[in-house]
Amino acid sequence: MRHGRGALLVAVLSMLVPVFAGCPGSAVDDRVRGQWHGAIEVPGAPVVVAVDLTGRHSGRIDIPAEKVADRALAGVVAEPERVEFGVPDVPGDARFAGRLDESADAIVGDFRQAGHSFGLRLNRRPVGPPARPQQPAPPYPYISEDVSYPSGGITVAGTLTRPAAAPAPLPAVVLIGGSGPQDRNEEIAGHKPFLLLADTLTRAGYAVLRTDDRGVGGTGGNLNQANYTDLTGDVEAGLRFLRERPEIDSGRIGLLGHSEGGYLAPLVAARPETGIAFTILMAAPAVPGTDIVLAHGRRTFTEAGATPGQLDTHLAFLRDWTAALRAGRLTRAARLSETYNRTLPKDLRTISEALTGENTPYMAALVSHDPAPALSALRIPVLAFFGSKDVQVPPAQHAQPMRDLLGAGPDATVTVLDGLNHLMQPAGSGLPTEYESIETTIDPVALDTVTGWLGVRVRGD
């Protein structure tokens, strides 16, 4: 469920995206010296890299998708007939082996990892970033205002957009992002889905509030030390802020939660005193957090080639680890993960540590949460939609429970959009490794699903 810089997404990305450590170098042939650019040819999700060969046994690398800049390489051999580097600290014994093709002024070879081989061609000319044709850019045909307001002992910062010409008071939507430290645009892999959602909804006649998470951008606090009482309190502070604005219709304010934001939105909306008019759940989980962790652990270990015995042991450990977190025994959870992870081979250890290294109040809140009480208590219009190729919140695990839990409400729509992933992009495998290479930020079908549903329920279209 975590995305971008979050631990669940990082656990998947670490299987394919190299992170290099360095060693000293010596003189290097001028034919291979200097900067090279290319993309590891992972099917459907090429990983752009820039390599600077500074010595016969040294170099540096940039990996824009991972925000890695000027990182040292390891195990470098930089000779015209032999260009190699290895990746000792990531899963799957990752390494590149190739040679200089002087006729093309290119280094060509194969990047091998976890028994798979991907072509990698490095050229002198940089590889441009993927296009983002949907990304809004100023000047906007509406008002965009940076705002801030108090929530308990911290200040929450964000952006409020609203139509310039629409008659007040306006209906409003509060966007709630996914797990991990997200900025107000929910930026991931060069995409800004909340910027696009805010732009789409504002052009359709709604005011939209989107904010930085705790400890991100202009918002204070520490997300790792926050629980769901703190985070729902931040949402409620946004509601109070909107209701103080004369241009906002206090009776037509709703929530849109993406991923873990779909855990938080129902918690707020189910409380009658909050006066929420509607709720939209985008790729929102409908099962307890522990079930999500177990499903993630099964998928990532299976994809990494774990044996049946290793998989059974891993799931048993995850049950013990999540039980400790649910009991509030964070020190025990940390000890369990440290002891268990030391027993794993390097490739599996990296995957497990990416998830179980976070023994914090925030992780305990996520693992402990059961969405059933809040979802089943909703008595307002609710739209829940999933992508059929979402591997983080797969509809096979979540869509039917969502239908069952929302069944008592007066107006619940639950739908699965064909071919879309966790970000609602048109996808191949649906794996997070594809996010960067897909030009679309949110498929128009998903955007139309939201605006069409809102138009009927809120604007009376």
Residues 389-415: tens digit of each pLDDT:
999 999 999 999 999 999 999 999 999
pLDDT at 13: 31
Cβ(53)–Cβ(32) below 8 Å: yes
pLDDT at 165: 86
pLDDT at 454: 98
Distances from the Cα of 246 to the Cαs of 159, 169, 252, in angstroms? 17, 7, 13
Percent of the chain with pLDDT over 70: 89
- DSSP E strand boundaries for 200-270: 207-211, 248-258
Nearest by Cα to 264 from 178, 173, 183:
178
Nearest by Cα to 156 from 190, 188, 182, 194:
182
pLDDT at 99: 94
pLDDT at 366: 96
Contacts of residues 47-53 at CB distance under 8 Å and 24 or more positions apart, as own/partner, are: 47/16, 47/17, 47/18, 47/433, 47/436, 48/127, 48/129, 48/436, 49/18, 49/120, 49/122, 50/126, 50/127, 51/85, 51/122, 53/28, 53/78, 53/83
Q: How far apart are CA 180 and CA 189, in angstroms?
A: 14
Nearest by Cα to 20 from 86, 79, 67:
86
Q: How far apart are CA 5 and CA 152, in angstroms?
A: 26
Q: 332-352 in b/e burial notation, b at 16+ Cβ within 10 A?
A: bbbebbeebbeebeebbbbbb
pTM, 2 dp: 0.79
- DSSP E strand boundaries for 286-388: 382-387
The total of other beta-carbon atoms located within 10 Å of residue 248's CB is 22
Does 169 sit behind a cis peptide bond, omega within 30 degrees of 0 on the bond before it?
A: yes
User: What does R_g of the chain's alpha carbons equal in angstroms?
Assistant: 24
pLDDT at 66: 57
pLDDT at 3: 52
pLDDT at 65: 61
Q: 159-196 in b/e burial notation, b at 16+ Cβ within 10 A?
A: bbbbbeebeeebbbbbbbbbbbbbbbbbbbbbbbbbbb
Cβ(171)–Cβ(249) below 8 Å: yes
pLDDT at 456: 96
User: Which structure tokens are listed for 237?
Assistant: 């502070």
- DSSP E strand boundaries for 164-299: 170-176, 207-211, 248-258, 278-282
pLDDT at 92: 62
pLDDT at 12: 32
Query: H or E element: which one contains 192?
Result: none
List the chain residues with pLDDT less than 50. 2, 4-26
Q: Which residue(s) pair with 256 in the sheet?
A: 175, 280
